[in-house]
Structure 1
Amino acid sequence: MRNLLLVFLFFCSISYSQSLLKLTTEINDSIDYYLEVASFNKEDKRYFNKAIIYIDKAIDYAKKHGEYSKLPDCYLVLGGVYYDLGKPDTAIENFIRSINLYKKNVPSANLALAYYSLGKCYLEKNKIDLAEIYFNKSSEIYGALNFSDAIELINIQKGIIQKNKEKYDEAISIFSSVISSISNESFFDTKVEAYYQIGEIENLKNNTNNAIDFFENALIMNYNHSKNIQLQKKILRQLSNTYKKNNQLDKSQIYLERYVSIADSLDNFYNHSLSENTFDRIQFDKQLKTIEQLDKEKKSQQKTLRFSKLISILSIALISILSLLSLSLYKNNKIRISTNKLLKEKNKELTIEKERAERASKARAEFLATVSHELRTPLNAINGIAYILLNEKPKATQLNYLKSLEFSGKYLLTFINDILEINRLESDKVLVEKINFNLIDLVENIKTSFNEFIIENNINFHLKIDKDIPPYTIGDPTKISQILINLVNNAIKFSKNGDVWLTIQKIKESKNQIVLSFEIKDNGIGIPKDKQKSIFDSFSQGSVEINRTYGGTGLGLSIVKKILEILGSDIILESDVNKGTSLQFNLTFDKGEIIEKKEALQESENLPTKKTIKILLVEDNKINQMITKKMLEQKGIFSVIIDNGEEAIEHLKTNTYDLVLMDVHLPGINGTEATSEIRSFDTTTPIIALTAISLNENREMLLSYGMNEVITKPFVPEEFYTILFNFLSNTEE
């Protein structure tokens, strides 16, 4: 019984020791994971960058956790990546690092591999003496480890060195030794390479018959044992060349056809090809790895065998079962802990990426808000000054300049609106309005707005509207205007000296609804077939190339498509190069009510009868102060200007005004906060917001602070006066 207890304690101690060993290798397993992923990615040149990233992660991980014994492996793999990338200098740096670290321990197969890899780098840089030194060091270690097949791989490199030195006899001696030394079929690629190299030497010596014999031997061995397609391809090529050199043209043609067949099949199989020399290097490296793996498996099998013998000698079934059960439970627990640890790391990375994306989205929204405000504010000044000067009866010589300034301001505003609009449409925050409007007037106004552009491009513009279409419909006039303006603008731009047709027809009508077809057609340059699918994409290659030539942002068609998707429709494109383009879409409208047209606003009809009208203007921008004040003076309105919210609040506590114009963006207390404070003691005075409105601002939000109406900068003077006089008339009543 005492002996049984001792045996049980012995097994428990073994189990505990193995558990500690597993615990210490947990971090190594994580490093090995990164290196394994890196090795997988380095097999394809397209993913070398990923391989380098994972190796860097392994290096950082090893340094962070103090696992410096893994660093030489990392540098060895990294050197291999840079070697395959064709950067021998960087590869040399990493191989030297790995060698310096490996030398601190007992010589190993990895140290031999590092010397071998360093020798290949120097051989590629034509530093033959250094290459030979490191190949010899690699051979010494492989010899001490009894890796005979690995030594033969190095001997191949030594033979190639002698061949390059034109020491053909020494090279043949080395290759012949390789041929006689290799018996393991797993390394017959090396043997085939030796036959091939001797054949090349005989060819260089003009011994074509001997060369053919060695090439034929290499080809036969390749067929029977190796089946390495790349080796087979270069052997066939040399056979064809050698037979041709020997004036045996029939055989040369046969081998040439076989070579071409293999080359074509390889080209079709791979998305990109490696050079033969690069392929050979990778194959030899793989063989060295195979040798090391076989050695590891051999050692593992020896350990397993010794452990099995120990179990057989002890032959205590109960203790064996308990030991195995304990090991299994412990292993499963460690696997679970390791898996959870890796999952936590991945979750942490995902959280970081998510936060980064959210920050980018927030930054984009803030950028758009800033762009909207900072660009619209000076545009308000440009358009306002142009309007004021045009209404002050300028000289005939100045009139064209002022009209050009007005046109440029409107064009710049359209340009900015295109950029902001495409981002607004992509933000999924777009609502469709239902407004009763005159569709025919809308289309006529759009045509009129293009008169100058039509004349400039010498366009014959044809507007055809179905007589059965009711004048008033219910829909979103803003979005319909955006669609038609963009499409008509493109048609005119790309049809210089040609014709443009805008046709609107009734497709279907019911009691409450009507379906209309819109077609914009031109006989301009047309769109190539290969560009038609991508022409509606934002900043697509097709739109960018065209608009570089003809001007514009390239966003018009993208905006049109997105708006039509929001309205539940799609656009149909038909186009032929140099014949023209047709764009057609259908929209459904509710029937509207006829509204009596109002005449243009006249000062005498809209101004209240009150003798003096007083308006408080709260605006911090000096130019906007001047423009707004001047526009009010043109209508005989007296105004007082305050440039911040705090003073406006205090001023209104002791002064009365017919109306307040409140800029939203003010220093200190902004316009919304100031309005909310004013409403605590004054609920009757109309307050109208002046804002360069952004994506995050909206009418409902501004009105919720107590504002009565919103005017967007840069505002249209007629709309400005209309809103102003409506509120002034109401206050008079």
Structure 2
Amino acid sequence: MTYLLLATSIGYSQVYNDAAKISDSTDYYLEIGLFNKEDKKSYNKAILFTEKAIEYAKKNSLNNKLADCYLQLGNIYYDLEKNDLAIDYFIRAVNLFNKKEPKTNLALSYYGLGKCYLKKDNIQVAEIYFEKAASLYEELNFLEAIELINLQKGIIKKEKKNYIAATETLKSVIENLTDDTFLTTKTEAYIQLGEIELIQKRYSAAINYFNLANTTNSSNKTDFELTKRILKQLSIAYEKTNNTNQSLLYLKKYTHLTDSISSHLYSYESENMINKIQFDEQLRTIEQLDKDKKSQQKTLRFSKLISILSIALISILSLLSLSLYKNNKIRTSTNKLLKDKNKELTIEKERAELASKARADFLSTVSHELRTPLNAINGITYLLLQEKPKASQLNYLKSLEFSGNYLLNFINDILEINRLESDKVIVEKINFNLKELIENITISFKEFIHENNIKCHLKIDESITTNLKGDPTKLSQIVINLLNNAIKFSKNGDVWFTIKKQHEDSNVIKLYFEIKDNGIGIPLDKQDAIFDSFSQGSVEINRTYGGTGLGLSIVKKILELMGSTIHLKSESGKGSTFSFELEFEKGVKSEIKPEVKPTIKNLTEKIVLLVEDNKINQMITQKMLEKKGISCIIIDNGEEAIENAKTNHYDLILMDVHLPGINGTEATTEIRKFNTTTPIVALTAISLNENKEMLLSFGMNEVITKPFEPEHFYNVVIDYLTNTELSNS
């Protein structure tokens, strides 16, 4: 629509009279390009002159003018129905326009993008750009232009088959456009309303709207395409009502108008032929002068370049001629060898990367998918054990509990291996007390030590008096895996755990860790492979002692991440010694304040919202909550959870991360918009691409990993219910 363009079309006589006064500039070529587009319908010349305008704008660093050029070129390609090219130039225009202050041409660029994506049936993107254009027109107080956007919105709603909303929008456009300047827009709105009625088989109403469109368009005598559309639709509508005479009448008018367009254009061309010849001659003269100037500049630059290159080439050839003959044969053979080797290496590298990725994806998917049914197994086992089973049933349930825990540890190890190999692991630097950490680990092994009749000797260097700054979680993983192996493979024996200080200065302390046992040991020929994943030395060891064969692989990878190496000394039948060194920054000694945990007198008044789509997990979680007297409301999708949380008060929300439709993180984000106080705890069979920090960033307070341990589950739930009770009291 020409009235939307920033630069308006000018008459031929004005261009001819002013051409002699205007230098070769961006504005001049823009106006000529626009004239060819709007008046002459010569799109090739319109593109040519607009590109000349772009050339001058770039040469003189006129970014705003360059943006105008890109906008005009986008409109030209839109008229030619080359939507991809049009989108490219509209985006270039948007990037150059100043977005800090609202400008009409920036709005036009967004509007053009919206029309292009609408033509490509990408309605979602089209709506985004129309909204951007409407926002700018509101800032400019250009209300009539906003109605153009509303017309497009009505067309979008019609494409989505939302006919009621489309009709309301289109009627609003007609009511708000009172200025005769926008008759084309009003006409289009009537046509769209008629087409909606035609789709819904309300043919009389459709004829009425097409007649209104015809009446409104009658004053716009040059818009033949719009008139043709109206006549064609009237013919179709009357045919649907079986009014053959009226249908044939409008069909004849349509055919007559189609024939008359050609003769009208021919008459227009004849009337202005002389002026056009003069105008074209002037343009050719300007173009020739421009070409001559550029040719001279190119010739001069080329001559200088030839002189410089000639001198350089003679010097270089003199030197190279001496060495080329000797090196040619050697270089040819070496290059061939290198190419062959590089090709082989590239193929092998690609194969290795594909195999590694496939393995990681498979293990991550399998371990993640096993967690949901495993949660059901462990959860139901726990509930059955709480029901005081018979003595004959107790053994079965204990075996089931052991198997579930074994499988869970196996899955956790697989996930940890994948995580360490994915380069997504970050080594933390936080303050911690080494002695407290080691003591807590050894206490956790108390029962395992008793079961295997082990004498455990712990020795920590007394000179280590300061706190450390490092990653206590990863250090715990290393120690736990090494201690677990030492205890498991040294039944009725001894295990020594020693930590010594090797070096210390004002900021850094270097420690030596050693875990030694007098167990079965590792044969020399197995020691290199023992750190590979799923390796345990032999099938007999696996059958006798069990385990996944992943512990030492995890230890090795974590130490590599922390800049260290695991060392092994072992002899079959005489035990093993694992050692490593780690360097820590000195930490700040923290004051430990006694934690006072409030006692909840009555949990029956607490209400928890459980958002979980798996029926078995719903049942298990609800039963576990009810055992503590906690009421539980269950919702199986994120959408209903958001709406329910708006109207109801809950003391805690347990949110499954992987939900159908809106997932748990999206639902949490929406809830946090209107509720920032209710604790939300994530429930997830955590995958390789998830971590606690990522989940907490969406507004969750804590994460419980499936399958969850009952004790940990109760601790987290009761802790947040306690905090809720205290904050509300």
Q: Normalised by the size of structure 1, how large is the TM-score?
A: 0.47
Largest Rg, 1 or 2: 1
Q: Which of the pair has the greater relative contact order for Cα pairs under 8 Å at 6+ separation?
A: 1
